[in-house]
Amino acid sequence: MVQWRKERGQEKERYTEELLGVIHKIAGDKDLLKAFFRDILSPGEYKELGVRWQIVKQLAAGKSQRDVAKNLHTAIATVTRGSRELADKEGGFQQVLRKISLASRDLAKPEKRK
């Protein structure tokens, strides 16, 4: 029984890796990406993705968990999970926040004249 669960877990991990590859391939096409997410997720799951990102952004901006939960009309437990993940300085949320912060700073820099 334990071996079966381990194998099933590995199989699910392969499925996830394949999905990430698909998302990576279509990431440059915003309309296709949106259509794909709308098809693969339920309407509630699709909407929740946006809420979860707002949780991260508001927490990163220094808002309290209670304020974030109130602002977004979501459960404090959902916000707490986001906060826990955000606390990991090498986690995905922090990496993405750094990347988009760097990208926005690069866009704001004036071009050098030749």
Q: Is the dihedral of CA 44, 49, 52, 54 positive or negative?
A: negative
Q: Are 56 and 82 in contact (CB under 8 A)?
A: yes
Question: Is 34 found in the same domain as 88?
Answer: no
Residue 88 in domain: yes
Instruction: Give the count of domains, the chain.
Output: 2
Within 10 angstroms of residue 58's Cβ, the number of other Cβ atoms is 19
Cβ atoms of 76 and 65 closer than 8 Å: yes
pLDDT (tens digit, 9 = 90+) per residue, 12-43?
A: 999 999 999 999 999 999 999 999 999 999 99
- The DSSP annotation for 21-68 comes to HHHHHHTT-HHHHHHHHHHHS-HHHHHHHHHHHHHHHHHHTT--HHHH
Contact 71, 101 (CB under 8 A): no
Whether residue 84 sits in one domain with residue 51: yes
Q: List the domain range (segments joined by +) for residue 63.
A: 43-109
Same domain, 95 and 51: yes
Rounded to the nearest 5 degrees, what angle is found at the Cα of 21, between the Cα atoms of 36 and 81? 75
Residue 18 lies inside a defined structural domain of this protein:
yes
**pLDDT tens digit sequence for 66-91:** 999 999 999 999 999 999 999 999 99
Q: Domain check: are 54 and 91 in the same one?
A: yes
